[in-house]
Structure 1
């Protein structure tokens, strides 16, 4: 299985969400031990930092992979694809690199997703302690 097939499969988002949820649980335990009086605030800040870091690395690594894969088809290294360098694989990666607005909008997506998830964690911890009393 090539990386692009795995990237477009259903397993890729599942693995991402699993990693985020597992590490969020670890961050909740860490923030409870380190800052017990400000547990909800520290948990939400740690979660925000982690999600921004994790998703940024993921988006930029995938972008770098596709750009490097596209550059591998440039045989003479001049940055222009001549007629003999154009193949079906080259066209596929060219379309992925040029016409994917998701990578362009990734910083905005990361910011909104991280803020929303941090707010969700903040209120979840607050509600947990409210109902625990």
Structure 2
């Protein structure tokens, strides 16, 4: 749960950073739509990067059990730990579907981000008029 909250906090920090850059360097030339698209794209890339790191870590952990380096596990290489790591690699369909599910999550994230950006922009425009 802490990892999920830190991921969401990091992604929201990206949105705030984009809004700050838009204000400071672009003088509000980036639309809310562009900010939401950029942050959603970053969200998608972050999901894929996390999945890549998890796959890499699990593969390295599994390779540590292959003592003779033949990419097969002989009887003496099969341990309870090796079977648990193998099961973690084989049974996690979420990592395999991450490119597809990441698009769906990014669209949901886009919707969640665009609404507050539009509300904030309307309030900002009313206060300047």
Tell me if TM exceeds 0.5.
yes
Deviation of the 1:54 alpha carbon: 1.5
**Alpha carbons 2:51, 2:95 under 8 Å: kept:** yes
Residue 10 of structure 2 is aligned to residue 19 of structure 1? yes
Point out the structure with max Rg over C-alpha. 2
* TM-score (normalizing by structure 1): 0.83
In structure 1, what is the Cα distance between the partners aligned to 2:62 and 2:89? 8
**Alpha carbons 1:40, 1:125 under 8 Å: kept:** yes
Tell me which stretches of 4 or more aligned residues in structure 1 moved more than 6 Å: none
Where in structure 1 are there 5+ consecutive unaligned residues? 1-9
**Alignment root-mean-square deviation, CA:** 1.7
Change (3 A) 1:94 1:36: same
**Alpha carbons 2:22, 2:29 under 8 Å: kept:** no
Alignment: residue pair count: 124
Where in structure 2 are there 5+ consecutive unaligned residues? none
* TM-score (normalizing by structure 2): 0.85
In structure 2, what is the Cα distance between the partners aligned to 1:53 and 1:81? 34
